[in-house]
Amino acid sequence: MAPTKVTKICCIGAGYVGGPTCAVIALKCPHITVTIVDLNQSRIDAWNSPDFQLPIFEPGLEDVVRQCRDRNLFFSTDVDKGIRDAELIFVSVNTPTKKTGVGAGSAADLNNVERATRRIAAMSTTSKIVVEKSTVPCRTAESMRTILEANSKPNCRFDILSNPEFLAEGTAIADLYNPDRVLIGSLQTPEGLDACESLKGVYANWVPSEHILTVGLWSSELTKLAANAMLAQRISSINALSAICEATGANIDEVAHAVGTDSRLGPKFLKASVGFGGSCFQKDILNLVYLSESLHLNEVAKYWRGVVDMNEWQKRRFGQKVVKELFGTITGKRIAVLGFAFKADTGDTRESAAITLIRDFQSERALVNVYDPQVPQEQIWQDLQEASPSSSLDTIQKHVTVSPSAISALYKSMNKPAFVFDGRLVFGNTERERLANIGFKVISIGRGDSI
């Protein structure tokens, strides 16, 4: 066999990974037809909207879609046709943490992966390269291969690759244009290596060859979890130090800067905050926890669970600090929460610290105004309901107001003293002093002083 020269790609899943990734592939590979399929009609309608009101916000994404849509980039709910026509299929479906059953609370729910795999087997009449793009536990590809081989038609073979994403929301398009590395895992058989070369040939249209890493299938799957776990561990470590800084009068920004100048460590992911969120960090660490427990490596599992526990503690600690500073009670007091997504430059709210804070403020019977320019109201209400399943939406809406602007989230005349709690270290010394001069008491995470 020789590597297939790919001309038709299908991506199953039009979410945060599949959409931007395959849109950039279409832009950089005009000779390849890319079809992104999803059963969610409203999501596909948004991708196809005439005014380009895309279902996800990512800087630079609209420009990519404008250049490619209806040229060599297509969005469709016809999953079966997308599968049949493709030579290479990305499986980029959601894999949330299981809420019930075996491994609940830490294992990944692979139902969507299995359904997509069975659909590929059922609809394929020619051989395919199937690329695992979703975040999955180690050796998921083995299960996919078992399903495909058990259900394949005569003269129809499948080669499985792992190609995990390492995108950071808010910079995903820049990351895709100029990736630190593209990782491709394959079985170390002649067929597996040929399939690897086929996918490598797609990325080689714009990614330098030295940035395309090829490894074994299981190493690729584990690397995705390991990379996110190591990054999350740094965030939890710096957040643990932020509590010491507040207690001793040290400045977490100064500590982080000094630590970050150590060439062995580097400056990234040393920004103290109210906690990490998003679709990957917590889920991937919990995957590692479950994998470790399954391998009877209980001390390893305990270690990685501690990173998640530290993150949850940081959220609770920040909320408790707000209550303490506001004279021990926030009942009936109005609190503006500026930002609902898990970080800037995204509309993604998964595991956002804001959800936990607002839930805790509600339990203290505070009145909350929330503002985020990228998050639809419907998403805010859905997230708050999931966080407080025992409360009706009507009850939540009695305590929470979604504001149309940052200014309207604040009262023009606030009770004095008025407070600003900076959980993302947005304000430097100059901004803190300016806020203090107009009457605010400013309390920043990781700083023992308040002004």
Q: Which amino acid is at 450?
A: S
Annotated ligand binding at 119? The verdict is no
The encoded tokens of residue 273 equal 């905050």
Q: List the beta bridge partners of residue 8.
A: 33
104 is in an annotated binding site: no
386 belongs to an annotated ligand binding site? no
Rounded Cα distance between 313 and 309, Å, is: 6
Binding site annotation covers 132?
Answer: no
Q: Which amino acid, 275? A: G
272 is in an annotated binding site: yes
H helices of 92-189, in order, are 111-123, 140-151, 172-177
131 labelled binding-site residue? no
Please check if 432 is assigned to a binding site: no
Of 10, 29, 68, 280, which residue is the catalytic one? 280
- Is 387 annotated in some ligand binding site? no
Residues 6+ apart with CB under 8 A from 217: 141, 160, 161, 162, 185, 186, 187, 192
316 is in an annotated binding site: no
Q: Which amino acid is at 169?
A: E
406 labelled ligand-binding: no
Q: Is 416 annotated as a binding residue?
A: no
- 278 labelled as ligand-binding? no
251 in a labelled binding site: no
- In the annotation, is 22 catalytic? no
Residues 366, 369: Cα–Cα separation, whole Å: 10
Q: Would you give the end-to-end CA distance of the chain in angstroms?
A: 70
Helix axes 217-248, 298-325, angle to 10 degrees: 40
The position carrying tokens 């982080």 is: 256
Query: In the Cβ-directed half-sphere of 264, how many Cα atoms lie within 13 Å?
Result: 1
| Gyration radius of the chain over CA positions | 24
Non-local CB neighbours of 44 within 8 Å, separated by 6+ positions: 14, 37, 38, 75, 76, 77
Q: Is 203 annotated among the ligand-binding residues?
A: no
Is 448 marked as a binding-site residue? no
Question: Does residue 197 have a known ligand-binding role?
Answer: no
How many CA atoms, within 13 angstroms, populate the side-chain half-sphere of residue 4?
A: 21
* Residue 18 labeled ligand binder: yes
On whether the CB atoms of residues 158 and 117 are closer than 8 A, the answer is: no
User: Would you say 161 is a known binding-site residue?
Assistant: no
Q: 378 Cβ partners below 8 Å, 6+ apart?
A: none
Which amino acids are annotated as binding site, given as ranges?
A: 13-18, 38, 43, 93-97, 134-135, 165-169, 224-228, 264, 271-277, 280-283, 342-343, 350, 424
Residues with catalytic roles: 280
Which amino acids are annotated as binding site for substrate, given as ranges?
A: 165-169, 224-228, 264, 271-277, 342-343, 424
Which amino acids are annotated as binding site for NAD(+), given as ranges?
A: 13-18, 38, 43, 93-97, 134-135, 169, 280-283, 350
